[in-house]
Structure 1
């Protein structure tokens, strides 16, 4: 079972790791897009979000306080959904639909990250293939 959990963790964090690298290697392009969506201080926001994405992904991937990493990714996903994909502000039906899909994707990933947080905080000490146990515990 430990190997299945490890594979699941790694598959889950690939998206976040790639996105984090994109934030840090394509900061000017990402910042322009963030500015167009009304994000305040877009350059620092892109850099900070890139670091959060990478730290969260590594934390879950290697099992180093994975509960905290999962919470960080949940916070990022919620912020990205609301700030970057405010579909309710779109007047064009096509743009509205596309932003709604992205909003729902981010909220689903937020939910999955919260489930992972609960999983790690509750059962992490019973899992193998983790560097540390949870920083927080529930249950």
Structure 2
């Protein structure tokens, strides 16, 4: 079972780590998009989200306070869905569909991350992690 959890952590983390890399290598383009969505300080927002995605993804991947890492992902994904993918404001059907897909993806990943918070906080034998959970009283 430990190997399955490790494989799941690896597969889960790939999206966040590659997204974090994009936040750092394509900052200007992403900041332009964030600005078009009305975010104040878009460059800082993009870099801050990149840091949270990287920390959360690495934490889950390596099993270093993975419950905290999963919580960082929730804290990043929910505002990202609500602020960046406001499909209800789109008038073009194709743009609306694209934003709805991104919104639902972020919500689903936030839900999965929230389940991981509980999983890591309550499972006694995590196996193949560097540390145990940070939160044990959730």
Q: Considering the TM-score relative to the shorter chain, is it more than 0.5?
A: yes
Counterpart Cα distance in 2 of 1:103 and 1:35:
18
1:130 aligns with 2:136: no
1:114 aligns with 2:128: no
Superposition deviation, residue 138 in structure 1: 3.8
Stretches of structure 2 that go unaligned for 5 or more consecutive residues are none
Superposition deviation, residue 69 in structure 1: 0.3
In the alignment, what sits opposite 1:58?
58
Instruction: Trace 1:1-139 onto structure 2 (pairs within 5 A).
Output: 1-123=1-123, 125-138=124-137
Superposition deviation, residue 68 in structure 1: 0.4
Q: Deviations over 1:69-104 (max 9, x none)?
A: 000001111111001100111111221111111111
Counterpart Cα distance in 2 of 1:19 and 1:48:
12
TM-score, normalised to structure 1, is: 0.96
Counterpart Cα distance in 2 of 1:77 and 1:8:
19
Q: Deviations over 1:25-65 (max 9, x none)?
A: 11111111111111111011011110100000000000000
CA contact (8 A) 1:52 1:73 kept: yes
Runs of 4+ in 1 over 3 A off after TM superposition: none
